[in-house]
Chains A and B, each alone.
Chain A
Amino acid sequence: MDSGLPILELAGAQARSDADEVLAPKIDLRLGAGEFVLVDARHSARPTSLADLCCGLLPLAAGSVHFLGRDWSAMPQDYAAALRGRIGRVFLSGSWIGFIDIAANIMLPSLHHTRDDPIALRERATSLSCFFGLPGLPLVRPSELTASDLARAACVRAFLGEPELVLLESPVQGRFTSLVAPLLDALASARDRGAAAIWFTRSDLVWHDPSMPATHRLRLGEHGLVST
């Protein structure tokens, strides 16, 4: 791995669980600039928990999580929120606010965290939409879009703000394989910029794809992340 300051570092990080739950596993992961980890989450009930852990959203029972050299647990809330704006994420569920259109949903984090010109932002979002295979930036509500187009729109949002870390929670369901090629291209551009990426997959097709340019392949199970 990269010897410089890592983008993300989980050192024995163990999420605090409720008393009646199974104890969360300890996670060790060090991700440098340009690195790409493919995580097999086919047999895990908690890929979202690991993504949340990376974003500093879960309280820790042990260990630490550093993003861009800063400890999530030692940061003031405002500061942590601003840093989360530098993470692009495709969510497994609960992605879209139903009462605003997809375009507003996509641009919301960038509009909130930056002072970028909204017209330029809209142009960037439109070109990214076309890049991911949409006819343009969708101006309809989430309920009016197909699951396939929502998956593409989720990728547009994840890459719009030129993130330092990209977290992809099963971005490609089995039937949307046409999304893989543009997604890998976008990942390559992001890694060239110095971003790191974690792709949690539940798809056999993606996990067994030899062309997947992952620098590490890990399996998420009951005992945490293990190398394959």
Chain B
Amino acid sequence: MSDRLWIVPGPASVGSRFGWVRRALALIGRTAHVHARFVLFLASLAIGVIRDAVRPAAWRRTVRSEFRRALRQAVGGGLSTVLVTAALIGLIMVSQALYWLGEAGQRELIGPVLVIVLVREVTPLLVGVIVLGRSGVVVVSEIGELQIGGQVRTLVAQGLDPFLLLVLPRACALAIGSFTLGILFVLAALLSGFLAGSLLGAVGISIWSFLDRVLLAMHPIDFAVFPAKMFVIGLLIALTCFLTGLTATAQDELADLLPRGFVRGVVAILLASVVLSLAV
């Protein structure tokens, strides 16, 4: 019978002077152990995905089929939310930047400001959160159900490698989906911002000239960092959500798993974004 159903007196509770020290150390050790194990699992999965993604033998037709399904879900599921959010960011941020920099006579700063704020920082964060909400929680739910229901073991018994069939296609689909949605987000935000700025009478340049300034403000490193951020964020969302689902136990329910996966995903997005920003 499970110990969780009973409260039993432990040795530490019987008159030990340093019992609380032992309990505190045990708590710290247990927490550190759980988190360190999760991070190590995450790292090993990431290495496995990178290794197998370029191995043609790994892409059997069942894996390709799962990849198509996951990619459709990631891009199709998040597209409308990304476009609406980008339009709102364009209205709020881009048009305001156009207006106030124009008022201050600093129009030449429009490009650098938008590249640093919109392209480097805001887009990866917001697209990451949208992908996490639209696709990451689906991964937690699907994998969690498979793990709790014993289907992961059934797959192994049929000679189907859960890593190839479940992890690889989802990780690649979310990485590519994040990058695609990130590009669409930037374009939609710039266009809606320009449109709003034009309606406010704050823009004295053509759309081509505006886009040209943004492009000219981008350094060569930006062309590497932005895709890197989007790919890494998508990959980490898939892997954290997969691991959260896979570590589910029979006592876990989806109501426990989903918030756990969401919080881990948010932490992964923020860490990836900060680390890659600092690396530039």
Contacts and interface: CB of A to CB of B under 8 A. Distances in A.
Contact of A112 (B60, B145, B154): B60
B61 A111 contact: yes
Interface of A: 51-52, 55, 57, 77, 80-85, 87, 89, 91, 93-99, 108-109, 111-113, 118
Contact of B160 (A51, A55, A108): A108
A27 to B, nearest CB: 17
Interface in B226-272: none
A85 B154 contact: no
Given A93-B149, A108-B158, A112-B61, 7 more contacts: A57-B157, A80-B159, A81-B159, A81-B160, A89-B157, A94-B150, A113-B159
A57 B158 contact: no
A16 B156 CA distance: 18
A84 B153 CA distance: 13
Contacts of A113: 159
Describe B's contact surface by its main secondary structure. Answer: helix
A89 B158 contact: yes
Contacts, number: 63
Interface in B154-205: 154-161, 165
Given A81-B161, A83-B159, A98 B153 contact: no
Nearest to A118: B61
A16 to B, nearest CB: 16
A135 B133 CA distance: 39
Nearest to B69: A100
Interface string B133-159: 000000000100110011101111111
Contacts of A98: 142, 145-146, 149, 151
30 contacts: A52-B157, A83-B159, A84-B157, A85-B158, A89-B157, A89-B158, A91-B157, A93-B149, A93-B150, A94-B150, A94-B151, A94-B153, A95-B151, A95-B154, A96-B151, A97-B146, A97-B151, A97-B155, A98-B151, A99-B145, A108-B62, A108-B158, A108-B160, A109-B158, A111-B61, A111-B65, A112-B60, A112-B62, A112-B165, A118-B61
A113 B153 CA distance: 17
A91 B154 contact: yes
A123 to B, nearest CB: 17
Contacts of B149: 93-94, 98
